[in-house]
């Protein structure tokens, strides 16, 4: 034993480089870069280069004709960003509206999908549950199917003569024409007053009155919220479920012996152990919900009255429909910042509570 340890090697350190070790190393290098070449080329061309190019377009006056690098395209500095954030006008108002809409979307979808996913995972995790496989399949299936196909189904479910309204009628409720109704639900809860309080209507932020900021998600946006919660819960449920399965049963049993009620065991024992998964689910939820695009593109294209407009869709429509490429690129970067910021806040908040 002792003789073997004459040349001590720190754990994880590279093996001693003799003549035997060196040759494979050089061969590995060439092979390594060769193996990585397709990946590096594709990611470089379609991930890194696009970001740099868009950064240039976001500070230029390119209108989509010819190359953004031609001499007819000029550097305009922060003009595109200023139009979105500072200068009064329709551009700023639309951007603010899209941020408001997406803000409410996040505010509703993330807690709902997280709570529902955790709840379903806890139900699935009951000992001696029959049909576990069936329930898992049922809840997860919407997550793997096409968002376009699902959106088409929901277009029918929530149409004015659709399934949801027919079901509501059974209870004597006249459902709205969901995708055509731009009224905010907070406004509706207040009885949709014709004369909003002057203090709120007269002042605002980013070209949008406080009254409009506080509208809540529109009825149309609510149907998209239901759709997204319905489709995304399955994936998060599986994450919680996997985490629950990996918890040592002894901790829970100890709490049980100590006489903790099931409610106490959930809050004091199970939930704290799930914190890493909770963190993952919340972060993925926040990142995902700020990117909502497919559903808006298929269902509403920002209508009615811009109440389902989101920054991702606005970025697309400004560029491809409005030919305001600089504006579209600038929105994409602002959205990127929002997503990064929320991820950081999220990280910080969960660490603080520890």
Partner 1 sequence: MTKKRWLGYAVLLLVAALYIYPFLIQLATAFKTDADATAHPLLPWPQQWSASVFRTLAEQDFPRWALNSVFVSVTITVGRVVFNSLAGYALSRLRFRGRRAVFGAVLAVIAVPSVVLLIPKFLVLNQLGMYDSYAGMIIPLLVDGTGVFIMKQFFDTVPVSVEEAARIDGAGPFRTFWSVVLPMSKPALITVTILSFQGSWNELPHYIVSRQDPALNTLTSGVASLVSGELGQGNQFPLKLAAALLMTVPVAIVYFVFSRRFTQGTYEGADK
User: By CB under 8 A, is residue 155 in contact with partner 1?
Assistant: yes
Tokens of 341: 């910021």
* Buried residues in 200-217 as b, exposed as e (16+ CB within 10 A): eeeeeebbbeebbbebbb
Strand partners, 75: 60
Name which position in 9, 36, 201, 321 contacts partner 1 (CB under 8 A).
36
Q: Give me 181's structure tokens.
A: 């109704």
Q: Is the peptide bond before 181 cis (omega within 30 degrees of 0)?
A: no
How many other CB atoms sit within 10 Å of the CB of residue 346? 17
Q: Assess 9 for contact with partner 1 (CB under 8 A).
A: no
Window 169-228: residues binding partner 1 (CB under 8 A): none
Residue 277 CB, nearest approach to partner 1 (Å): 10
Residue 167 touches partner 1, criterion: CB under 8 A: yes
Q: Which of 95, 105, 211, 290 binds partner 1 (CB under 8 A)?
A: 290
Number of residues this chain uses to bind partner 1 (CB under 8 A): 93
118, 120, 220, 274: residue in contact with partner 1 (rule CB under 8 A): 120
User: Smaller CB distance to partner 1: residue 63 or 201?
Assistant: 63
Using CA atoms of 304, 307, 312, 316 in order, give the dihedral in degrees to the nearest 10.
Answer: 30
Q: CA separation (Å) from 236 to 140, 279, 299?
A: 9, 11, 24
Tell me how far, at minimum, the Cβ of 124 lies from partner 1, in Å: 8
Rule CB under 8 A: choose which of 7, 67, 70, 71 binds partner 1. Answer: 67
Binds partner 1 (CB under 8 A): choice among 9, 153, 201, 254 = 153
Residues from 76 through 105 that contact partner 1 (CB under 8 A): none
Which residues ranging from 303 to 342 are in contact with partner 1 (CB under 8 A)? 312, 315-316, 319-320, 325, 328-329, 332-333, 335-336, 339
Based on CB atoms, which residue is closest to partner 1, 54 or 225?
54
Contact status: 252 vs partner 1 (CB under 8 A): no
Q: Quick check: 176 and 218 in contact, CB under 8 A?
A: no
CA 315 to chain centre: 16
Q: How many residues does the chain have?
A: 354
Applying CB under 8 A, which of residues 72, 78, 141, 258 lies at the interface with partner 1? Answer: 141
Residue keyed to tokens 């959205």: 335
């Amino acid at each position: 034993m002792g003789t073997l340890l004459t040349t001590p090697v720190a754990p994880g350190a590279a093996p001693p480089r003799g003549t035997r070790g060196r040759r494979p190393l050089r061969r590995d290098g060439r092979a390594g870069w060769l193996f990585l070449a397709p990946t590096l080329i594709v990611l470089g061309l379609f991930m890194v280069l696009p970001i740099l190019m868009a950064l240039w377009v976001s500070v230029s006056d390119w209108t989509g004709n010819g190359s953004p690098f031609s001499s007819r395209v000029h550097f305009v500095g922060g003009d595109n960003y200023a139009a979105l954030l500072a200068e009064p006008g329709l551009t700023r108002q639309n951007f603010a509206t899209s941020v408001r809409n997406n803000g409410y979307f996040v505010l509703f979808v993330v807690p709902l999908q997280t709570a529902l996913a955790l709840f379903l995972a806890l139900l699935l995790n009951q000992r001696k549950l029959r049909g576990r496989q069936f329930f898992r399949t049922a809840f997860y299936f919407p997550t793997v199917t096409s968002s376009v196909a699902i959106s088409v189904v929901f277009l029918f479910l929530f149409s004015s003569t659709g399934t949801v309204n027919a079901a509501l009628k059974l209870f004597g409720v006249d459902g709205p024409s969901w995708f055509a109704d731009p009224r905010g639900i907070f406004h509706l809860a207040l009885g949709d007053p014709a004369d909003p309080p002057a203090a709120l209507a007269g002042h605002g932020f980013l070209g949008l009155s406080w009254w409009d900021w506080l509208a809540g998600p529109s009825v149309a946006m609510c149907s998209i919220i239901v759709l997204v919660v319905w489709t995304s819960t399955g994936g998060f449920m599986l994450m919680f479920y996997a985490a629950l399965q990996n918890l040592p049963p002894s901790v829970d049993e100890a709490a049980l012996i100590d006489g903790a009620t099931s409610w106490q065991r959930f809050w004091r024992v199970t939930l704290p152990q799930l914190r890493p998964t909770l963190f993952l689910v919340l972060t993925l939820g926040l990142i995902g919900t700020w990117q909502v695009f497919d559903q808006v593109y298929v269902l509403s294209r920002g209508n009615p009255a811009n109440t389902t407009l989101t920054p991702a869709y606005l970025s697309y429509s400004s560029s491809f429909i409005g030919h305001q490429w600089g504006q579209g690129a600038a929105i994409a970067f602002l959205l990127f910042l929002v997503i990064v910021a929320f991820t950081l806040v999220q990280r910080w908040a969960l660490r603080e509570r520890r």
